[in-house]
Structure 1
Amino acid sequence: MLIFNNLDKHTNIMQNREEKELINAVMKIAHYLVFITSLVVCAMLIIITVLVAGVSSNTWSYRKVPSVPSKSSIIIKPSNPVATEVWRSPAPGTIPAGKAGDQIRYGGELIAHTANYFGPKGTIAQISNGMNCQNCHLDGGSRLFGNNFGGFIASYPKMSNRSGRVEPAAERIVECFNRSLGGKSPDTDRNEVRAMLAYMKWMGGGVKKGQKLYGSGTEKLPYLNVPANAVKGKIVFLLKCKSCHGDKGEGRLAIDQRSYLYPPLWGEHSYNDGAGMFRVINLAGFVKNNMPYGATYKSPQLTDQEAWDVAAFINSQPRMHRNQHSDWPDIKRKPIDLPFGPYADPFSEKQHKLGPFKPIEAFYKSLTYKNKNL
C-alpha cells in the first residue's frame, strides 16, 4: 500500500508540474501575441500620421526653403539648387466653382489625355503623334523637377531666343504641338487652348513674374568632364528602361490604342529633333529625377553618369526631323547643347550634342553675350 501511495503522490506531482508548464507556455504565447499586436498598432499609427502629414503639406502652393538647410534636406535635394522657394501644386479643392472651374478641369483633362482629343484617333482633331502633354509634364505638370507648370504662366509673355520675338503663353503651347507632339499647330482661339492656359494659370496661382522656384523645369546636372557615352547608355536603357518603353523605344499603347501608357522614346511617334527634350542637358536632368518608374528627386535610381549616358543613347536614335532654319536667329543665343550649327564658337556639332560642355560654357562666358540655356 505504501508503494501505491508513493506512486499516487509521484503521479500527482508530475501532473501538477505538467499543468504549471502548460500554463507557463500559454502565458508566454499570450505575452508574445500582445507584443506583436502592439507593434502592428504602432506601425499603423505611424503610417496614418505620415499620410495625414503628406495630405496637409499639399494644401500649400509653395513654402520657404530654410536659409541654412539641415543635413537631411541637403541629401534629398538635387545638386546646385538656385531657387529660394519650393513650389507645391495646389490642392484640387482650390478649383473654383462654376464655369471657371469647369474650364480648369477640362484643361487638366487635355493635358493628361491629349491624344484622346488631338492624337491620330483624336475626337477633336488628328494633329499630334499620340503622346500626351503629361508624358513630358509629369502628373499633369504638378511634379517637382518633372517639367511642372508652377512658373509657366507668370513667365509670359517673354522673349524667346529660339524664335527671336516676344511670345505669349499660347504660342508656347503651339510650339509643343509642333515639336514635342510632332504634329500641327492647334488654333489658339479654340476653347481647348484657353482651357489649357486656365489650368496652367491655376497651377501657378500666386507665383510672380521673375520668381525663382525650386523644383521648376528640370534639374541641370553637373557637367561631365567627358562626353556622355551613348554606348554605355544603351546598357542602362536595356537594364532600366526597356520594360516600360520597349526594346526599340516604341513605348506601350494603352488598352484603347488611342494614347500611350508609356511613351515612345524615339521613332515617328516620339518627340522630334526640334523639341526641348532632344537637348541632352534637359533630358539627362529629367531622367535623373523621374526615371525609371518610381524614381523621384528625393529617391533617384540612376547616378548622374547613368542619366547623362542614357540620355545620350536615347537622343542618338532615329526620330522625326523638324526644319529649324528659322530658329535661333541670333546664333550667339543658341543653347550650348543644341546639336545643329552654325555656331558662334569653334566647337563641333558632336560636342554640342554630347559634351563635354564646360569648355563651351567657358567660351560664352568670356564673351559679352551671355548664352542662356533656355
Structure 2
Amino acid sequence: MLDIAEELHRWARQGRDFAVATVVAADGSAPRQPGAALAVDTDGTAVGSVSGGCVEGAVYELCQEALRTGEPALERFGYRDEDAFAVGLTCGGTIDVLVTPVRCGAPGPATGTGGAAAAADRTAETLTAALAAAARGETAAVARIVRGPAGFLGRALLVRADGGHSGTLGGPPALDATAVAETRALLDAGRTATVEIGADGAQCGEPVALLVETSVPAPRMIVFGAIDFAAALAKVAKFLGYHVTVCDARPVFATRSRFPDADEIVVDWPHRYLDSQELDARTVLCVLTHDAKFDVPLLVRALRLPVAYVGAMGSRRTHLDRLDRLREAGLGERELHRLRSPIGLDLGARTPEETALSIAAEIVADRRGGAGSPLTGAHTPIHHDPARRAGRIGSVA
C-alpha cells in the first residue's frame, strides 16, 4: 500500500473514499511481492497493481465490493492447471490479497454505531496517517492483521521512527505491544514482511498474522566523478528510486546544468565528502573518477564501509593497477573482494547511456541476488530472494 502512498494521500486529503487491495503473501513465480497494492476510489479510478495484469480485473471488482459493503476481505489467486486462462496467475504463482475500505468522506456502510463501525473508523484513521507519513518521506511502518480472530481482519497500527505508535489491533494490550515490537524490528531493517504472533503473544484465542509495510527514505547513490557517464547514471538511478548525489572536486564540471537529474551536487574532494556522510546498508557508491589521486583514497574508505555496493570504472589494466595501489594502502583481500571493477555487467556497452544501464543492471542483480545471465533457456528462478554473498555486505530489499 505504501508503494502508492502519494496518490492515496492525495485522495484522502480530497475526502475521496477508496478501497485498497494489498498483496499480503506471495508464493512461486508471483509477479508482485507483499506490499504491492491496487486502489480504487468511488468514481472507479484505479491506481497501482497487484499482479502485473493477471488478476487486476478481479481485484478491481473486489475493491468495488468492499466500497459497497464497508467490509474488508482476503482473497487468494493462483494458477490452476485445469483452467489456466480463467482468473488466476498463469505465471504459476499464488498471491493472497487483502482488500480494505478506507472512508475519508461521508459516512458509509461501515460507519455509524457499534464496535465494528468504531474499529473501521480507527483503521481508516491509522491507514490515512500511514499514507501521509509515507508521502512526506518519513520513516514509518504500518502493521495490519491478515489472519486472526473473526472481525479482526485489516485492523492496523502505525509505528514511527521515534518509537511512538498509534492505532490499535483490538483485543488485549499484549497484542498491540507484541505487534509494535515486531514492527519496530522490521522498520529498523527497512523491510516489508509478514510476521506471525503466537497465541500466547496475541492473547486473543488464536495466532495472528501481520503484514508489516515499511516506508523509509529513498536509498542513496553517490556518484563520484562529474563526467558524461555520471550524468547518464544519475538519470537511470533516479528512475530506480535512488536519492542521487554527484560529487567532484572540480567546480567547473560539477554543475546543475550538467546534472539536472541529480538531487545533490557537491564540490569537494571525494574522500573528504565520504568521510562527512552517515551511510547505511542500502547505500550505493559508484566511483567514476578514473584518476588514482581521487579514486584510491576514496576506495580505501569506501571498501571499509557497510554499504550495499562499491563499483569503480576503468579498464582491466587500470583495475589491476588500482588493486596494487589499494593493497599498498593497507586493504586486505576480503575488502578488495567487495569491489566491483570494472564496474557494470558485460552488455557490450559503449555510450554513456548504455554504460549507465550496465552499471544499474549490476546493482539490481547484486541487490536481488540475480546472476545477470540471460533468462532464455535458463532453469533458474526469475525472482530471487536477496542473499548475503560471502565477503560482501548486501542491501535490504
Structure having the larger proportion of residues in helix: 1
Structure having the larger proportion of residues in strand: 2
Q: Which has the higher contact order (CA 8 A, sep 6+)?
A: 1
TM-score band, normalised by shorter chain: under 0.3
